[in-house]
Amino acid sequence: MTTKTLTLAALLLSSAAPAFAEGELNLYSSRHYDTDERLYSDFEEATGITINRIEGKADELAARIDAEGANSPADILITVDTSRLERAKDMGILQAVESAVLEESIPSNLQDSDNQWFGFSQRARVIFFDKADVANPPATYLDLADPAYEGLVCIRSSTNTYNQTLLASIIENHGEEVAREWAQGVVNNMARDPQGGDTDQLRGIVSGECEISVSNTYYFARAIRTEVDGLSDSIDMIGLQWPSQDAEGAHVNLSGAGIAAHAPNYDNAVKFLEYLASDQAQQYFSNGNDEFPVVEGVALSEEVASLGEFTADDVDLSAVAKQLPLALTIFNDVGWE
């Protein structure tokens, strides 16, 4: 798909509604980043639309929208990871969106096949390693299961949505049998029982608990940009391996959004989604939260750019999402805690 970048002004002028729209937008968000405040305030200033925000955990917000039913005030659900977006779709709390702006701007593999959700920022899930102790880090995700790395790997729990989507992508790319072998092999190679978040996997390399870990890129970039306890002071000892560059490419997690099934302010909701695809908003994702934009041609922050160039897996994440139930079954079968 050919993509193009759009300024906020162009987005607003492209709509049939006046540029200064007025009204309200009820946003249910599980993103918890202070830098998102700039996203919201700039949208309000440009459109005259007031954002009323409710924050919480993704599953709790989805359950709330579901319980509110046809009387729900929710216009937008914004959350992190394909798995949560797909769960919201399966619950019937989202609706299809018709927008030429979104179709042109968002790559087809980063949006729902039924247009019920769209990705707006990306985090690559990559392999990190101790430069001093690991001469030949795993080159692919499948290599993480190689017995050569027994007792060396730190990775999060199977309840983590990032890992669930990663395994679902392996199923989609390589099939169930390979995915089962991979999951069992990673369990065999764990340096410790799964614990903590992505930053803790990186800290495990610093502490010597493990020599290889799996984490999303924005946790590492954040430790370059600002002080992260137990990590930033030792960041130079950690190497980054872009996985599967001669195969499917590096897996990416999405932060995305969709319009609620009974949105009372549908037109304003469409404007907000289109705004998230603008150059201005896309740059905030990179500069403010160390994420990769989804729109082609948008400049990266210095810290994100310092991670280097890579080839991303262009698998259809809508298809990956359909493999999530099997991924959970595999995790349980192999004893991945």
Query: What are the domain boundaries of the chain?
Result: 8-122+254-301, 123-250+318-334
Which residues, at least 6 apart from 193, have a Cβ–Cβ distance to it below 8 Å? Answer: 337
Rounded CA-CA distance 248/236 in Å is 28
The predicted pLDDT at position 286 comes to 86
Contact 281, 105 (CB under 8 A): no
User: pTM (2 decimals)?
Assistant: 0.88
Which DSSP state fits 17?
A: S
- Kindly state the tokens that stand for 68: 């509110």
Q: Does domain 8-122+254-301 have CATH number 3.40.190.10?
A: yes
The predicted pLDDT at position 127 comes to 98
Average pLDDT for 212-240: 97
The predicted pLDDT at position 21 comes to 55
Kindly tell me if the per-residue pLDDT of 5 is higher than 50: no
Kindly tell me if the per-residue pLDDT of 4 is higher than 80: no
- Kindly state the tokens that stand for 3: 């993509």
Q: What is the pLDDT of residues 44-67, one digit of tens each?
A: 999 999 999 999 999 999 999 999
Rounded CA-CA distance 314/328 in Å is 22
Whole-number mean pLDDT of the chain? 92
Average pLDDT for 280-286: 90
User: Do 8-122+254-301 and 123-250+318-334 agree at the fold level?
Assistant: yes
Average pLDDT for 217-243: 97
The predicted pLDDT at position 68 comes to 97
Question: What band does 96 get if pLDDT is binned at 50, 70 and 90?
Answer: very high
CATH of 123-250+318-334, one of 3.55.50.30, 3.90.1300.10, 3.40.50.720, 3.40.190.10: 3.40.190.10
Q: What is the pLDDT of residues 150-186, one digit of tens each?
A: 999 999 999 999 999 999 999 999 999 999 999 999 9
What is the number of helices (H) and of strands (E) in the chain?
A: 14, 10
